[in-house]
Amino acid sequence: MARFVLNRIAVLIPMLLAVSLVVFVMLRVAQGDPAMAYLRLSQIPPTDEALARARQLLGLDRPLAAQYLAWLRSALAGDFGRSYVTGRPVFGEVLHYLPATLELTAAALALALGLSLPLGMAAALRKDTALDNLVRGGSFVGVSLPNFWLGFLLVWIFSVRLGWLPPLGRGGLERLVLPAATLCLMSLCINTRLVRTSLLENMGHRFILYARARGLPESVVVRKHMLKNSLIPVLTAAGMHLGEMLGGAVVVESVFAWPGVGRFALSAIANRDYPVIQCFMLVMTVILVLCNLAVDVLYAWVDPRIRLRGEGRP
């Protein structure tokens, strides 16, 4: 198991390096002259002389490869430069807003997984009943709902009409419910369908027949033999959905005025504040990669066929 994890980590490092290179080069192309940006930020008139001095100061007169290495070195130390807009160090700002986003995403993921398993199970075990049709219909409607619209609908129903929950901001469970529900919807619906189909698939397998033939109680058959095998596609989906949720959080944060890193990045995108975009992108990539790693490890834990591959077994 330890070897499996180490192997996965070894694959991730070149990937992170490649992403950092792509981010560096693409932003350098899009951004134009960083020396100009620096002068604009420091409010120095852009004369030829000032530009030349700024280039030397920023190391722009060196070859691109050397610049990349220098940038990478300071990025690893957490120095991504200063925001063009606020003038404050970018990394600190991103870290400041990050916990709110992680809280929202974790709540949404927990909701999606926590609800999709019982719903999908109920639908599969009572296939073709009214309950099954309701769950299937509901999940079909759910994947077609724009999440920002759903957010406003929830605000309108629960805050404006019923007055049960506060509409905006962060703090306390009652402010977390609506944004988390909005963010989890897509994943919840896809997962519910996935749990249902994969349970139905597993039901037809011969190991289920065998488990029943051994006289195991139905609850054990469902829990140990059907459910555990159905978890594998759900895990894959959860790993993908986590990434979609981190992206979707930008929208949901904007709807609910949630003070997360997504809203911060959105204003940076609108203002073309490149150091912020760069840092946001890399920090999120690291988080995504770590999450994928966690999913891979969980995989290996659930499915021994993956864990034991390449250890001298066929």
Partner 1 sequence: MTPRTAAFLRPWSTRLALALLGLVLGLGLLAPLASPRDPNLVDVDRKFAPPSWEEPLGADHLGRSVLARIVHGARVSLLVVVAILGLNMALGLSLGSLAGFAGGRVDALLMRICDVFLTFPTFFLALFLVGLLGPGLFNVILAVAATHWAWYARLTRGMVLGLKHREYVLAARISGTGPVRLVTRHVLPPILAQLLVMAGLDVGHMMLHVAGLSFLGLGVKPPTPEWGVMISDARQFVGSHPELIMYPGLMIFLTVMAFNLLGDALRDALDPGLDHGH
Contact positions vs partner 1 (CB under 8 A): 15, 18, 22, 26-27, 30, 140-141, 143-149, 152-153, 155-156, 160, 193-194, 197-198, 233, 237, 240, 243-244, 246-248, 250-251, 254-255, 265-266, 268-270, 272, 277, 281, 284-285, 288
Least distance in angstroms from the C-beta of 230 to partner 1: 11
- Looking at beta carbons only, is 34 or 211 nearer to partner 1? 34
- Looking at beta carbons only, is 120 or 225 nearer to partner 1? 120
- Looking at beta carbons only, is 30 or 57 nearer to partner 1? 30
Q: The tokens of 188 are what?
A: 């919840």
CB of 194 closer than 8 Å to CB of 238: no
CB of 81 closer than 8 Å to CB of 41: no
Least distance in angstroms from the C-beta of 167 to partner 1: 8
Identify the bridge partners of residue 89 per DSSP, sorted by sequence position. Answer: 82
Q: Report the C-alpha gap between 287 and 178 in whole angstroms.
A: 24
- Looking at beta carbons only, is 51 or 232 nearer to partner 1? 232
3-state secondary structure the chain: CHHHHHHHHHHHHHHHHHHHHHHHHHHHHHHCCHHHHHHHHHCCCCCHHHHHHHHHHHCCCCCHHHHHHHHHHHHHCCCCCECCCCCCEHHHHHHHHHHHHHHHHHHHHHHHHHHHHHHHHHHHHCCCCHHHHHHHHHHHHHHCCCHHHHHHHHHHHHHHHCCCCCCCCCCCHHHHHHHHHHHHHHHHHHHHHHHHHHHHHHHCCHHHHHHHHCCCCHHHHHHHHHHHHHHHHHHHHHHHHHHHHHHHHHHHHHHHCCCCHHHHHHHHHHHCCHHHHHHHHHHHHHHHHHHHHHHHHHHHHHCHHHHCCCCCCC
Least distance in angstroms from the C-beta of 56 to partner 1: 27
- Looking at beta carbons only, is 13 or 143 nearer to partner 1? 143
- Looking at beta carbons only, is 28 or 225 nearer to partner 1? 28
Q: Report the C-alpha gap between 189 and 138 in whole angstroms.
A: 8
Q: Report the C-alpha gap between 121 and 266 in whole angstroms.
A: 38
Least distance in angstroms from the C-beta of 264 to partner 1: 12
- Looking at beta carbons only, is 156 or 210 nearer to partner 1? 156
Identify the bridge partners of residue 276 per DSSP, sorted by sequence position. Answer: none
- Looking at beta carbons only, is 82 or 263 nearer to partner 1? 263
Least distance in angstroms from the C-beta of 218 to partner 1: 25
- Looking at beta carbons only, is 199 or 211 nearer to partner 1? 199
Least distance in angstroms from the C-beta of 89 to partner 1: 19
